[in-house]
Structure 1
Amino acid sequence: MVVTYMENVFIQIRRDLHQIPELGFQETRTQQYILNYIYSLPKERYEIQTWRTGVLVKVLGRNPIKTIGYRADIDGLPIEEETGYSFASSHQGMMHACGHDLHMSIALGVLTEIVNCPIDDDVVFIFQPAEEGPGGAQPMIESEEFKRWKPDLIFALHIAPEYPVGTIATKKGLLFANTSELFIDLKGKGGHAAYPHQTNDMVVAASYLVTQLQSIVSRNVNPLDAAVITVGKITGGTVQNIIAETARLEGTIRTLSAESMEKVKERIEAVVQGIQASFQCKASIDYGSMYYQVFNHEELTAEFMDFIREDTDVQVIECKEAMTGEDFGYMLRETPGFMFWLGVESEYGLHHAKLQPNEAAIPAAISLLTRYISFKGTR
């Protein structure tokens, strides 16, 4: 593969951004990097706004009748990097382990192309914070800044380590699940391990609760639907000879329909009420970040897939829906559009400390998306 100067620029941008991952709504260095780059482009061809740690850029069309939206998320994850990169994260305990460094560099590449070769319609590039948590999409679309430039259609990508470079995967309708975090705190009465009858043991209560939560999916969700309740962490107690006064369960809920999400939460609350009565304890539930399903607009998605098949050498795959979550679903609930997977062929998957996406996907995506936006926005 012959790498051109422009391709090198955006690969280097990815590497620069990879070194400064920041958690949700803390992306100050990332925001400044994005702004510094955008300010290097011809200023008469775009307008710019900031929202919290995010950035919105409107590239002015020659004769606009609609606004095309493209979203890239910008935050990192609390993961200690193990890639061995020479450009590894300089922020201890944080890493771009979900590919948002690629998402940003691709968006900046497409932005550059559209600024230098304007199309008829306006294009809004949305650099959104806090996708990994606590969730930036919903408050962003409710902001005055976003409403001022609300797009008429919107799309986004997510890297996919399991697909080779030069591959796009998507589908009409449901692509990603409804997701919710789950935190349950139990408080009883602790005491000496030799006198259990004088206590209300929260380790035992938590153990019963975990097993009962697993029955919700098997007995309360339609077998033709799909749902997952995973408890990934339990904490309780202090030492081996003290009965635990408190315990905490941390997990996630994922469903393929919004209705099932509500049903699952109703059953969780009923089960927790039962635990309170059985173990004479107090319980509280916090659902943390909740993401709405990513539901691709059928006509726009079909058009995008046809465009790839007919006008590019990129392979397009019609994939299955996944239980992953993405707060881009909130944007699609308000505006027609779609999301797709971009192949980056990495041995290690998303949220892994050794994720190493193939950087050849960056220029390939910039070329594809520039052509698609030009196709959608030029009459």
Structure 2
Amino acid sequence: MIKEKLGQIRRDLHRIPEIGFQEFKTQQYLLNVLSQFPNERIEIKTWKTGIFVLVNGINPTKTIGYRADIDGLPITEETDYDFQSEHPGYMHACGHDFHMTIALGILSHFVENPVDDHVLFLFQPAEEGPGGAEPMLNSEVAKDWKPDIVTALHISPELPVGTVATKPGLLFANTSELFIDLKGKGGHAAYPHTTNDMVVAACSLVTQLQTVVARNVDPLDSAVITIGKITGGTVQNIIAENARLEGTIRTLSVQSMDKVKERIEALVRGVEIGYSCKATIDYGSMYHQVFNEETLTMEFMEFISANTDFTVQECKEAMTGEDFGYMVEQIPGFMFWLGVDSSYGLHHAKLMPDEEAIHVAVELMSKYITFKATQK
């Protein structure tokens, strides 16, 4: 697929960001592009708002999987693009428009240049939440079309175009959302002794939560608890009957995630007693760590060094969450960072990745998958 065509696809997709499991326009756009390929070479099956595309191999002994996420974020765009989001309040601020375009470019290559093995493309919804990887992989379609290995990439605004970064083993953290609702007794601000103030309870709980990592997680491990939003009360002269804390938990080990949640629940029970209130905890979406299969990842890094002009470097693990972790939990595989050289980072309203990175990724992954398809 020519460079200009891929650029137009990326811009078209950038205009129509949609949140998880609501990617109806996005799915239809992808299906329209796929309909232009020779139907004797590919098979297409939909799952919810996602798509499976199988490029049939000539003499297959395995199936090589490539995943691209397709959803956007609830962020109001502030870029200088003349192709800004047409959906107010939503934006492809995590680069999934890039991810989809790259996948289509790789897919086009294998339609035109078939290899021995099957290549399966998974256009996955709801990566940003509530999570599409695990149910997609457990779907009826995936039972028939389950890859033997699986790969994926994520754009990296901090890295220059032409640079790839990854590492064997742990790449991204275990993550969990955190929602805590407190219900006490409201009343007039002049009579606090007749109430149970949930603003005070919420503030106390936030302070207590900051002790969990410092005093319950191994200093040689890593964990984060962030409360990013607090809501409570109605007006300035009424003591709040309800309060809500919204945040996130991130850990580098499953064991630490379990420990952190155990301590959060203990502190919340203490707040219930201390402030005579009722509390509920909801962990929302939870993502499994991305753990790169070590042999495959090292082979990939060595392949880049030996067979391309691109730069590959070993990175550190990150506290980033990615539901691709559920795929590599079941299937050997790996994820890597793709440099896109943007002044603004992921989930920023001014994220503007360099489109040249699309062609870097298409060239790289077309070569690598071809190489893997020669291995028996």
Which of 296, 299, 316 aligns to 2:312? It is 316
In the alignment, is residue 115 of structure 1 matched against residue 104 of structure 2?
no
In the alignment, is residue 150 of structure 1 matched against residue 146 of structure 2?
yes
Correspondence 1:113-262 to 2 at 5 A? 113-262=109-258
- The residue aligned with 1:294 is 290
In the alignment, is residue 66 of structure 1 matched against residue 62 of structure 2?
yes
In the alignment, is residue 48 of structure 1 matched against residue 28 of structure 2?
no
The residue type equivalent to 1:86 in the other structure is D
Unaligned regions of 5+ residues in structure 2, if any? none
CA distance in 2, matches of 1:282, 1:173: 41
Deviation at 1:305, TM superposition (A): 0.1
Deviation at 1:147, TM superposition (A): 1.6
- The residue aligned with 2:343 is 347
SS class of match (2:53): strand
Q: Deviations over 1:188-221 (max 9, x none)?
A: 0000111111000000000110000000000001
In the alignment, is residue 333 of structure 1 matched against residue 329 of structure 2?
yes
Q: Deviations over 1:293-331 (max 9, x none)?
A: 000000000000000000000000100000000000000
Deviation at 1:364, TM superposition (A): 1.1
The residue type equivalent to 1:55 in the other structure is I
CA distance in 2, matches of 1:147, 1:358: 37
SS class of match (1:43): coil
Deviation at 1:24, TM superposition (A): 0.2
In the alignment, is residue 360 of structure 1 matched against residue 353 of structure 2?
no
Deviation at 1:39, TM superposition (A): 1.0
SS class of match (2:32): helix
SS class of match (2:336): strand
Deviation at 1:11, TM superposition (A): 1.0
Q: Deviations over 1:235-291 (max 9, x none)?
A: 001111110000000000000001100110011000000000000000000000000
CA distance in 1, matches of 2:88, 2:80: 14
The residue type equivalent to 2:237 in the other structure is N
CA distance in 2, matches of 1:308, 1:349: 25
Deviation at 1:43, TM superposition (A): 0.6
Deviation at 1:148, TM superposition (A): 1.1
Aligned residues with identical type, % of pairs: 70
CA distance in 1, matches of 2:13, 2:144: 28
CA distance in 2, matches of 1:276, 1:342: 46
Over aligned residues, Cα RMSD in angstroms? 0.6
SS class of match (1:64): coil
Moved over 6 A (4+): none
- The residue aligned with 2:275 is 279
In the alignment, is residue 84 of structure 1 matched against residue 100 of structure 2?
no
The residue type equivalent to 2:39 in the other structure is K
Deviation at 1:378, TM superposition (A): 2.4
The residue type equivalent to 2:90 in the other structure is M
Query: Which TM-score applies when normalising by structure 2?
Result: 0.99
CA distance in 2, matches of 1:142, 1:44: 27
CA distance in 2, matches of 1:189, 1:154: 52
CA distance in 1, matches of 2:147, 2:367: 19
SS class of match (1:163): coil
Q: Deviations over 1:12-35 (max 9, x none)?
A: 100000000000000000001111
CA distance in 1, matches of 2:60, 2:293: 23
CA distance in 2, matches of 1:45, 1:315: 33
CA distance in 1, matches of 2:369, 2:251: 32
CA distance in 2, matches of 1:354, 1:317: 27
Q: Deviations over 1:124-169 (max 9, x none)?
A: 0000000000100111111111121000000000000000000000
